[in-house]
Amino acid sequence: MDTVGSINEVVEGKKLIKDRVSLFKVLIVLDDVDEKFIFEDIIGNLGDFASGSRFIITSRDVNVLCTFNKSRCKLYEVGEMNAQFSLELFCKHAFKKNCPSQEYETLSQDIVSIAGGLPLFLEVVGRLLYGQAKEIWEDRLEQLRKVSVRGVSERLKISYNALEYEAQQIFLDIACFYVNMNKEKPTYMWSDLKLFPITNINVLVQRSMIKIGDDNQFQIHDQLRDMGRAIVHEENIEEPWMRSRIWDTEESVDLLRNKKVFPKKILTG
């Protein structure tokens, strides 16, 4: 099949999909679909695809998936990771093996029980505790118990709070501006700001708070991205121009139109 160039219009894209794949049995995977997604607007009519074609669509919002024809679609709810696999995943990051050290067994089980089977949480907290003394584990467990009822973001925030100031600033910049963007230019900026990017990017990677793709682009889990943006949003809920960062396009345009004064250094994406 020939390489497809850039597509500028939805109608053009739908026609291209129909022309190219209507004769073939295909598997199409759409990951992390949100409430703004309308299947027919992007993909077209299901009847345009060859018999036997399959679509896998994932979303954190079950209402998105409820819009599909129930007679032709099956809803599968991914359950929580069970206790055994949760403990193994946590131990791979906290101990670099599949089971906890005897001295840390009870602590590990207590942390895993708080995680609620969430792989991202198990990975991030495991990386945070790797190589730490037992007293540190006990402190972190107590912190987790205090925030466990507040949701995933609050639990993940413990790892953010454990970062040095410079690493926190780089993490917030990535979450707000640089997801799926090349790291070269922001690294120069962080160097000028004395944030020690080489060291602190490595810290963020080691803590599983970000990843670096093969193309040198920053990658970050949606929940960690949302947590970072929530931290900035909470700096001043009522007056966005008082926050350290503004990434939302509509907010940026509105503030510029109204000639708001920015007392802080603001980066706009």
Instruction: Decide which of 241 and 8 is more confident.
Output: 241
Query: 246 in a domain, yes or no?
Result: yes
240: left (phi over 0), alpha (psi -120 to 50) or beta: alpha
β-pair partners for 28: 55
- Total number of domains in the chain: 4
Residue bearing tokens 């060859």 = 50
**209 and 245 share a domain?**
no
> pLDDT value at position 71?
65
**110 and 125 share a domain?**
yes
Query: 71 in a domain, yes or no?
Result: no
Q: Give the domain-ending residue among 161, 193, 215.
A: 161
> At 190, which amino acid appears?
W
**127-180 residue pLDDT tens:** 999 999 999 999 999 988 887 656 777 888 989 999 999 999 999 999 999 999
Query: 2 in a domain, yes or no?
Result: no
Query: 70 in a domain, yes or no?
Result: no
Task: Supply φ then ψ for residue 202, to 5 degrees.
Answer: -60, -40
Distances (CA, A) of 105 to 108, 112, 159: 5, 11, 21
> pLDDT value at position 42?
65
Query: 75 in a domain, yes or no?
Result: no
**17-57 residue pLDDT tens:** 777 777 788 888 888 777 656 666 666 676 777 888 888 88
**Residues in CB range of 2: below 8 A, 6 or more apart:** none
Query: 249 in a domain, yes or no?
Result: yes
Residue 78, Cβ density class (10 Å: 0-12 exposed, 13-18 middle, ≥19 buried): exposed
**242 and 229 share a domain?**
no
Query: 5 in a domain, yes or no?
Result: no
Q: Give the domain-ending residue among 161, 186, 205.
A: 161
Beta strands in 52-112 (DSSP E): 54-57
Distances (CA, A) of 199 to 54, 86, 247: 45, 30, 25
Q: Are the CB atoms for 26 and 56 separated by under 8 Å?
A: no
Q: Which of 163, 180, 250, 251 is nearest to 215 (CA)?
A: 180
**148 and 92 share a domain?**
yes
Residue bearing tokens 């501006």 = 177
> pLDDT value at position 268?
43
Is the pTM for the entire model greater than 0.85? no
**217-266 residue pLDDT tens:** 999 998 899 899 999 988 888 888 888 898 888 888 887 777 665 545 44
Query: 207 in a domain, yes or no?
Result: yes
Q: Which structural domain range is residue 24 located in?
A: 10-65
